[in-house]
Amino acid sequence: MTEIPFLSSDEVAGLATPAEYVAAVREAYRQVGEGAPAEPRTKLVNDDPRGMFTTYAAVLPETGAMGGYMYSSGFGERDAWFVTPLFDAESGEPLALLDGASMNPFKTGAAGAVGVDALAREDATSLAMIGSGAQARGQLKATATVRDLETVWVYSPTKESRETFAGELNKQLDASVAAVASSAAAIEDADVVVTATNATEPVFDGDLLEPGTHVTAMGQYDPSRRELDHTTIERATYVPDLRARATSDAGSFLSALEAGVVDEDHVHAELGEVVAGVEPGRTGGDEITVFDSGGTGIETAAAAHLLYEKASGEDLGTTIDLSPASRALTGE
């Protein structure tokens, strides 16, 4: 038997700061950029009852961890559950089992922020946020740790939602955060645009992007999800979290590809390759860049290991026993 902690969502909530998530996730992407293995999501879709079962994983040798999400979404409960098994990257032994609910917006936000840090102009101070949910909060709080934001313009279709979001984040950040009535107003003169939606149609007009803008899009984890229009994809230096995602579930890129607007060579590099310095990121002040963040085991394993280490120092978790395969197969 191997004893490991089960860490509940409530126990790990608040254990790490946005900046700590960003640092852990940046380091993880560097390792993958230098050759550590990571695979895009595997998604199994069921029609009746309608639902989705998804897995993805990564091995982070220098962090000393490997793991990722297994989660269900929909089915009879019309909800989702995120489970994160974490293993030692050297011995293969289990380290912990985490409820990944509370870390989800922070680890996803950290991946978005790593994209901003790698691709946005260093002097970027203004940000447009399209979306006003939990994921938008995670994206904005993480991005505020990598750029000195002065102004943030928030748009989402529901007036009450965007105004509530802006009011809350205006108190929490040093930047001035305000709601606007359209996506066009949000992206006007923005140095960075972040989309955190579940949209199936583009959420802004790519012709309106100013030269030098960086876009992080995190709601494109399915061919039906499409936050960015063809113009944005065509104009941009396009960087996905993993290259294989671009032609499997990156909805906006797939749409542009199918329309003949771009070809597969339009994928500039993976984010890890840019972070590791294997491929260049931004090469000029007028360049438009896109980071397509659909979710990977890279940020998930990195965030889970960060929380596991912090929890270990505070004696958190409920001990559970796992049997090694040798015992399970022999019965001894």
What are φ and ψ of residue 194, in 5° steps?
Answer: -120, 125
Q: Do 229 and 321 lie in a common domain?
A: no
Q: How do the pLDDT tens digits run along the chain, 332 residues long?
A: 789 999 999 999 999 999 999 999 999 999 999 999 999 989 898 999 999 899 999 999 999 999 999 999 888 888 889 999 999 999 999 999 999 999 999 999 999 999 999 999 999 999 999 999 999 999 999 999 999 999 999 999 999 999 999 999 999 999 999 999 999 999 999 999 999 998 999 999 999 999 999 999 997 777 888 999 999 999 999 999 999 999 999 999 999 999 999 999 999 999 999 999 999 999 999 999 999 999 999 999 999 999 999 999 888 999 999 988 887 777 66
Q: Do 249 and 165 lie in a common domain?
A: yes
Q: Do 272 and 322 lie in a common domain?
A: no
Rounded Cα gap, residues 58 and 64, in angstroms? 11
Q: Do 121 and 76 lie in a common domain?
A: no
Q: How many helices (H) and strands (E) does the chain have?
A: 12, 14
Q: Do 197 and 140 lie in a common domain?
A: yes
Taking alpha carbons only, the member of 203, 199, 197, 167 closest to residue 184 is: 203
Q: Which domain holds residue 221?
A: 109-292
Q: Which residues pair with 144 in a beta bridge?
A: none
Question: Does the bond joining 37 to the residue before it have cis omega, within 30 degrees of 0?
Answer: no
Q: Do 31 and 72 lie in a common domain?
A: yes
Q: Do 170 and 79 lie in a common domain?
A: no
Rounded Cα gap, residues 62 and 35, in angstroms? 11
Q: Residue 62 maps to which CATH number?
A: 3.30.1780.10
Burial class (CB in 10 A: 0-12, 13-18, 19+), 128: buried
Contacts (Cβ under 8 Å, ≥6 apart) of 157? none
The number of residues making up the chain comes to 332
Q: Residue 153 maps to which CATH number?
A: 3.40.50.720
Q: Do 65 and 163 lie in a common domain?
A: no
Q: Do 172 and 127 lie in a common domain?
A: yes
Q: Do 221 and 127 lie in a common domain?
A: yes
Burial class (CB in 10 A: 0-12, 13-18, 19+), 249: buried
